[in-house]
């Protein structure tokens, strides 16, 4: 499973302060977005367990007396059922908190339903307080292999707090890397295949797929780390075997960043996700217009505006280029918003949750761009004369000739467009993407090294320091 939580178990003998330890982690901000419950004692005795325990809720509504002891223990079953019902509702990016896991859970009673049911849900982490005498039985019954065990009989609370903080931070960085690795597999495999067979609208399809995957990741991470996932995925595009990856690397990073921007500003909610989806649909169109303006100049807009008005006149309308662009952009934004809403509802997450979480060996090697200007220039000419690009370039010039510029200006327009296009391709080809990846991998800044190593592990690559 690639969406399982990070398990941290807190244990220790009776009256060692396990519940207090976890509550302090929450109060100090070590655990963010807690969801679940603790059972603080209401009448703690000096040398033993209390006789009454209440339920302290975190981001759930249920509360009350949980357990009382009067010769035998009695538990509030109505409260248990209410808690189970609330915790069964997905809540993005939270840390599951459970207290006093012991004999009842090991017998399939108590709160055991949570432990068997939330494996594929949206919890990023799980902090579980387990009775020490039942620890081995608990791990065996539920098949849980904790990432960290804090035994308060052997660990000072301050040291334990630091260990939990470091573990949560480290595993978030690793999870970001794992998600980036799966996105890279999609971009390298499916993206290169679509490029090989020159499938129309492949860019729009891959952009929408990237958005869907980011929403699935955001459901687990609470909307955090999406910029970093987009960046690392773009870096890993270096392993694409089909072509110079600089252009797709740029667009992978840009598209992901555009989508993540409203989420970073407003927070992780349906509104920001829909805004990101709509913004993504319009921004890519804007970038395309900018590139055409840089290549051909204002005459490109004039020519296509005239063409647009002539075509729409056949349908009883006379819409200019920008009106048509607004309509098409609005349509694309609406399609993105529909996919974003479906993704937000968790439909695609359930599909991704079935992935095995194992290494997916990648046999290709990084695209090694030559660093000399001569080889970069030769590569630019090869890209320029590729049929798909050459046809688009010539069609643009044909529209300019027929609907825009005067014939006396045409040679200048052709020369300008040719020089700018070759210059852009040459500069892109001069970038050594292998060194670029290596530099970010070894920098270790902001946890990039940890995340990239996790990505390389998913790709089945050996990451050498």
| Burial (CB count <10 Å: 0-12, 13-18, 19+), residue 433 | buried
DSSP tag of 224 = T
Which residue from 72, 126, 121, 66 is spatially nearest to 96, judged by alpha carbons? 126
In what helix (H) or strand (E) does residue 64 lie, and over which residues does it extend? Answer: strand 64-69
Residues written for the chain: 465
- Which domains, from first to last, does the chain contain? 6-155 (3.40.50.300), 169-369+431-458 (no CATH)
Q: Could you report the per-residue pLDDT of 319-353, keeping only the tens digit for each? A: 887 888 888 888 888 999 999 999 998 877 766 66
Phi-psi map region of 320: left, alpha, beta (phi>0 left; psi -120 to 50 alpha): beta
d(Cα 304, Cα 289) in Å, to the nearest integer?
Answer: 11
Q: Could you tell me the strand order of the sheet in which 73-75 lies?
A: 73-75, 64-69, 52-58, 34-38, 95-101, 125-130, 6-11, 148-151
d(Cα 461, Cα 444) in Å, to the nearest integer?
Answer: 18
In what helix (H) or strand (E) does residue 231 lie, and over which residues does it extend? Answer: helix 226-236
d(Cα 147, Cα 135) in Å, to the nearest integer?
Answer: 14
| Burial (CB count <10 Å: 0-12, 13-18, 19+), residue 303 | buried
Measured between alpha carbons, how far is residue 385 from residues 261, 427, 465 in Å? 36, 17, 39
DSSP-derived 3-state class of residue 91: coil
pLDDT in tens, the chain (465 residues): 556 788 999 999 988 899 999 999 999 999 989 999 999 987 665 556 678 889 999 999 988 998 898 888 888 999 999 998 888 877 777 899 999 999 989 998 888 888 876 544 568 899 999 999 999 999 999 888 899 999 999 999 999 999 999 999 999 999 999 899 889 888 887 876 776 666 666 778 888 999 999 999 998 888 999 999 999 998 888 777 655 667 788 889 999 999 999 999 999 999 999 999 999 988 877 877 888 888 888 888 888 888 888 888 888 787 887 888 888 888 888 999 999 999 998 877 766 665 555 554 444 445 544 457 777 788 778 878 877 678 878 888 888 888 875 655 787 888 888 888 888 878 776 666 556 555 655 555 556 778 888 888 877 765 544
DSSP-derived 3-state class of residue 129: strand
Given the DSSP bridges, would you call strands 64-69 and 52-58 parallel, antiparallel or unpaired? antiparallel
Q: Could you report the per-residue pLDDT of 253-296, keeping only the tens digit for each? A: 999 999 999 999 999 999 999 999 999 988 877 877 888 888 88
d(Cα 441, Cα 450) in Å, to the nearest integer?
Answer: 8
In the numeric block, the tokens 């303006």 are attached to 293
The pTM for the full model equals 0.79
């Amino acid at each position: 499973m690639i969406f399982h939580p990070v398990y941290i178990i807190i244990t220790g003998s009776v009256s060692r302060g396990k519940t207090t330890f976890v509550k302090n982690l929450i109060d100090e901000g070590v655990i963010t977005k807690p969801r679940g419950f603790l059972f603080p004692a209401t009448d703690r005795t000096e040398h033993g367990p209390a006789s009454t325990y209440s339920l302290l809720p975190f981001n759930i509504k249920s509360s009350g007396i949980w357990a009382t002891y009067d010769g035998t223990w009695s538990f509030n079953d109505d409260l248990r059922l209410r808690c189970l019902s609330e915790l069964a509702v997905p809540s993005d990016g939270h840390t599951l908190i459970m207290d006093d896991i012991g004999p009842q859970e090991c017998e399939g009673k108590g709160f055991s339903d949570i432990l068997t049911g939330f494996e594929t849900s949206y919890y990023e982490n799980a902090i579980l307080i387990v009775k020490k005498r039942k620890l081995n039985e608990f791990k065996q019954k539920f098949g849980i292999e904790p990432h960290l065990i804090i035994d308060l009989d052997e660990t000072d609370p301050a040291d334990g707090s630091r260990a939990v903080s470091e573990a949560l931070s480290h595993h978030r960085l690793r999870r970001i890397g794992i998600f980036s690795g799966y996105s890279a597999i999609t971009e390298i495999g499916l993206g290169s295949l679509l490029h090989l067979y020159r499938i129309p609208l492949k860019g729009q399809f891959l952009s929408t797929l990237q958005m869907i995957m980011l929403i699935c990741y955001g459901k687990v991470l609470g909307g955090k780390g999406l910029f970093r996932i987009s960046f690392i995925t773009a870096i890993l595009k270096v392993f694409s075997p089909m072509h110079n990856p600089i252009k797709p690397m740029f667009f992978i990073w840009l598209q992901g960043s555009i989508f993540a921007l409203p989420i970073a500003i407003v927070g992780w909610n349906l509104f920001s996700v829909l805004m990101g989806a709509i913004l993504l649909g319009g921004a890519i169109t804007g970038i395309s217009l900018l590139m055409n303006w840089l290549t051909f100049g204002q005459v490109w807009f004039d020519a296509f505006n005239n063409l647009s008005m002539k075509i729409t006149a056949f349908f009883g309308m006379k819409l200019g280029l920008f009106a048509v662009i607004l309509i098409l952009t609005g349509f694309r934004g609406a399609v993105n918003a529909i996919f974003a809403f479906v993704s937000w509802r968790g439909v695609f997450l359930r599909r991704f949750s079935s992935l095995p979480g194992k290494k997916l060996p990648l046999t290709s090697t990084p695209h090694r761009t030559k660093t000399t200007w001569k080889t970069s220039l030769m590569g630019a000419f090869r890209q320029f004369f590729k049929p798909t690009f050459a046809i688009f370039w010539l069609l643009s010039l044909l529209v300019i000739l027929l609907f825009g510029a005067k014939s006396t200006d045409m040679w200048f327009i052709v020369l300008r467009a040719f020089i700018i296009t070759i210059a852009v391709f040459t500069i892109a080809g001069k970038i050594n993407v292998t060194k670029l990846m290596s530099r970010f991998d070894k920098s270790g800044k902001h946890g990039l090294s940890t995340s990239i190593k996790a990505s390389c592990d998913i790709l089945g690559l050996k990451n050498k320091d």
